[in-house]
Amino acid sequence: MAQLQAEIIGVGTELLLGQIANTNAQWISEVLANQGISVYHHQVVGDNHDRIYRSFELAKSRSDVVLVTGGLGPTDDDLTREVLSDFTKRELHQDEKALEQLETFFKRRNRTMSENNRKQANVIEGATMIRNDAGTAPGMIVIDDETTFIIMPGVPTEMKKMMEDTVLPYLRETFQLQDVIVSKMLRFIGIGESQLEMEVKYLIEQQSNPTIAPLASDGEVALRLTARARTIEEANHLIEVSEASLLARVGQYMYGFNNETIADVVVKQLVKKDLTLAAAESLTGGRFSDAIVSIPGAGQVFKGSIISYSNETKTQLLGVKEATLSSFGAVSKETAIEMAKQAKDKLRTDLAVSFTGVAGPEPLEGHEAGTVFICLYYDEAHYRVERFSFVNHRELTRTRAVKKALEWLYYFLESN
Amino acid sequence: MAQLQAEIIGVGTELLLGQIANTNAQWISEVLANQGISVYHHQVVGDNHDRIYRSFELAKSRSDVVLVTGGLGPTDDDLTREVLSDFTKRELHQDEKALEQLETFFKRRNRTMSENNRKQANVIEGATMIRNDAGTAPGMIVIDDETTFIIMPGVPTEMKKMMEDTVLPYLRETFQLQDVIVSKMLRFIGIGESQLEMEVKYLIEQQSNPTIAPLASDGEVALRLTARARTIEEANHLIEVSEASLLARVGQYMYGFNNETIADVVVKQLVKKDLTLAAAESLTGGRFSDAIVSIPGAGQVFKGSIISYSNETKTQLLGVKEATLSSFGAVSKETAIEMAKQAKDKLRTDLAVSFTGVAGPEPLEGHEAGTVFICLYYDEAHYRVERFSFVNHRELTRTRAVKKALEWLYYFLESN
């Protein structure tokens, strides 16, 4: 058959008021793209009978599959079910099984089912029901002439579960989808977006399967490879070949794949090398430790941290010398080194990281906001300390500092 | 005149592939709603001449103002300018002033202007240009019979600047918009979403100006009041009246307004009462301290924290007794109290907060993942300690624990 054309309709006045973004359309589009289904249109309409009706008309005139999200709730505003019934000229009737599921849902949560909720058990004649395991409103698949309408709730968790459990298997089987799409993300650190693009520009431009898309966020860059083929094996093979060419150019900056974060990789390396870590955080105020502790298994290698957000804490608790603070200032190379050394000693670890700087908005000790000293300390002979000038933006500076320390740790652990 | 009807079209295959969400449509919708302009439709189409053309046709048939984002870039994929020229049957010609601005843009950044970029200086006959101070492609306002088309780049920063500097003033003047919309957010803590809704349900249902919308996220709830009136004063007055009725019911749970966070309010209270704070974090691993340090001015009141992510750190650095750990376990009321007391003593503060628990995914010391003990310590006679059972989700449990401690601090500071 010709390539399947899909369309996504978001129903809900909250979308037209800008209270929420239509992330459902994004998510569904991505999932359909991965199945080789082309999405040519998105529409958004409010909770209005006529406008929903006309959006269905338009969609039917141009699309094979129409996925509708929203408007299945219990209130009078929720019209999707009723409009589709009018549009397809098929009656709504209360489905016993759907009502039973609804009653069970409320009973399990010790909540009373209101009269309103009963309407969520209304089903269009001839429709295939889509179970909703995460909420109250079931979805429906309704075939109207050449067009398949699929209606689902607007709550993202409910919609996603329905898509994965029911809708995608249904589409794959009904339309005998044969192509598969496989994506792989390569993650880089220590190289800027423009430099990365420059290094691999000819590869990005030269080829279309897999496509290579650069992505950037918060001081990290990634390349997404997306291949389309008849089998997963074939798609994986296409990706492998491209990956090899890419890594020949920029492999030294790659730290991980897919959803791996630099903190994941650092914790894994520490576990593998049986090394323990501590931190002394002033500027970052716990953000570095938080990033490490976010990783399950961090407890094996991370012993803790001293957050010294006052000079008094730096001297009395962390043990930085008064003389260091008075001669060089709290925001200095010397203080950063002592902080890391003391954290390592006090927490008895193999490695320690320290941060001191000016989060802003005001300058401090003559340093501009955004000035940061980071130290990674192993022993007297092996430590690294540097001064950075990040931007005058409190949150960004603290996030960048944490990323930079993770980058250093990554390279240290790779090469030792 | 009748109420102005606007429509938003997003152009770009990346939207249909789900690579990005159509946040431009959300932002524009919200901004237009604030001007009293109704948005009835969003459309998204790919970089395809015919489909863009038909989306213009459809929009012209039903809307007074059509705002288009995307497709103004320098590549061959970028078609919005060309399609609008075809659709309105007006020629494109190179505009000298636009070309000059383009050249200046590249010169300032020491970049070479490619031949492709020259097409960005093409302007539709009779169009009003919209300066782009943040990028290369200017926007355009083109009146086609009864419909005003406004085309802008898809890059959010460029589009937003154009909207604020040029498009909104243009719309206000051209369509003599008179109503203003004012929104105010009331923020609550310590009350669940359903309880809050129940308490103020009749107020929400009774009135339409201002509208009252409940919003929930991460253990906090808010009510958004949105009033529409001829003047800002009148809108503010409508909001004040509603606010008073709301606060008569649920005022004891309200902590702040608009973008204020609970951490903001706690830091302000500490400053005002001249009290200092420390923390001892195990489970939360720095997340509480990070939340406090995120607030400018935190340095005045927050001295620091000890992150004791191992038992060894708890005893040797923080000073929790070995006997406490061995008799009651690290995850216990007794350990939580000692952690907070020791943090207060070691960091010499007025108040201290401690966290110990099981982040998961595995149980620990016989406690389910999600079990957390929190202690807020002032002195022997004034402390509060409680056990919580959050969900078995590492990040959620840690975030909820931090929110709960901020809630306790807020109430403590309010009443002392």
pLDDT of residue A2: 58
Which residues contact residue B138 at a Cβ distance below 8 angstroms, ignoring those fewer than 6 apart?
B98, B101, B120, B121, B123, B129, B130, B131, B132
Is residue B96 predicted with pLDDT exceeding 50?
yes
| Cβ contact B220:B269 at 8 Å | no
Contact state of B21 with A25 under an 8 Å Cβ cutoff: yes
What's the topology of domain A5-174? Molybdenum Cofactor Biosythetic Enzyme; Chain A (3.40.980)
- Would you mind telling me the total number of residues written for chain B in this entry? 416
Nearest to A306 among B38, B304, B398 (CB): B304
Average pLDDT, chain B: 92
Give per-residue pLDDT as tens, B226-251. 898 888 899 999 999 999 999 999 99
Residues in chain A within 8 Å Cβ distance of B110: none
pLDDT at A118: 87
In the structure encoding, which two tokens stand for residue A123, read together?
A: 């089903």
Q: Judge contact between B293 and A285, C-beta under 8 A.
A: yes
Amino acid B50: pLDDT: 96
Mode of pairing for the β-strands spanning B65-69 and B5-11:
parallel
- φ, ψ dihedrals at B281, nearest 5°: -115, 125
Region of A169 on the Ramachandran plot (φ > 0 left; ψ -120 to 50 alpha; else beta): alpha
**Which of B290, B301, B396 should we substitute to test contact with A (largest number of A Cβ atoms within 10 Å)?**
B290
Of B157 and B340, the one with more pLDDT: B340
User: Which residues of chain B neighbour A23 with C-beta distances below 8 Å?
Assistant: 21
> Residues B37, B43, B44, CA angle at the centre, nearest 5°?
135
Q: What is the mean pLDDT of residues B351-374?
A: 93
The minimum CA-CA distance between B329 and chain A, rounded to whole Å, is 16
The answer to whether the beta carbons of residues A340 and A354 sit under 8 Å apart is yes
Are the C-beta atoms of A336 and A355 separated by less than 8 Å?
yes
Judged by CB atoms closer than 8 Å, whether chains meet at A16 and B39 is answered as yes
Task: Please provide residue B54's backbone torsions phi and psi, each rounded to the nearest 5 degrees.
Answer: -70, -30
The CA radius of gyration of chain B, in Å to the nearest whole number, is 28
What pLDDT does B1 receive? Answer: 45
Looking at the complex, report in whole angstroms how far the Cα of residue B96 sits from the nearest Cα belonging to chain A: 30
Chain B residues close to A281, C-beta within 8 Å: 286, 289
Is B262-415 the same fold as B180-257?
no
pLDDT band for B65, please (50, 70, 90 cuts).
Answer: very high
Q: What share of chain A is helix, strand, coil (3-state, %, to 5)?
A: 45, 25, 30
Q: Residue B186: pLDDT above 50?
A: yes
**φ/ψ of residue B400, rounded to 5:** -65, -40
For every one of its 416 residues, what pLDDT tens digit does chain A have, with 9 covering 90 and above? 457 899 999 999 889 988 889 999 999 999 998 888 889 999 999 999 999 999 999 999 999 999 999 999 887 788 999 999 999 999 999 999 889 888 888 887 777 787 778 888 999 999 999 998 878 889 999 999 999 999 999 988 889 999 999 999 999 899 988 777 788 999 999 887 778 888 888 888 888 899 888 777 666 788 989 898 888 899 999 999 999 999 999 999 999 998 899 999 999 999 999 999 999 999 999 999 999 999 999 999 999 999 999 999 999 999 999 999 999 999 999 999 999 999 999 999 999 999 999 988 889 999 999 999 999 999 999 999 999 998 778 888 999 999 999 999 999 999 88
Q: Closest by alpha carbon to A93, among A137, A124, A127?
A: A124
Domain segments of chain B as ranges: 5-174, 180-257, 262-415
CA distance B395 to B98: 50
CB A149 within 8 A of CB A141: yes
Q: What pLDDT does residue B80 have?
A: 97
Contact at CB, A287 and B290, closer than 8 angstroms? yes
Closest-CA distance of chain B to residue A399, Å: 11
Domain formed by B180-257, architecture: 2-Layer Sandwich (3.30)
Architecture per CATH, B262-415? Alpha-Beta Complex (3.90)
What letter does residue B110 receive in the DSSP assignment? T
The model's confidence at residue B2, banded by pLDDT at 50, 70 and 90, is: low
Distance CA A123, CA A90 (A): 10
Chain centroid to Cα A33, Å, comes to 18
Q: How far is A202 from chain B (nearest CA, A)?
A: 16
Contacts of B308 in chain A (CB under 8 A): 304
Residue whose token pair is 């960004």: A396
Q: How far apart are CA A247 and CA A73, in angstroms?
A: 50
Burial A334-347, CB ≥16 within 10 A → b, else e:
bbbbbbbbbbbebb
DSSP B166-231: IIHHHHHHHTT---EEEEEEEEE-SS-HHHHHHHHHHHHHH--SSEEEEEEETTEEEEEEEEEESS
pLDDT at B221: 85
- Residue in B262, B406, B356 with CA at minimum distance from that of residue A293: B356
Pairing of strands A147-152, A65-69: parallel
Q: With an 8 Å Cβ cutoff, are A304 and B306 in contact?
A: yes
Give dist(CA A57, CA A66) in Å, integer.
11
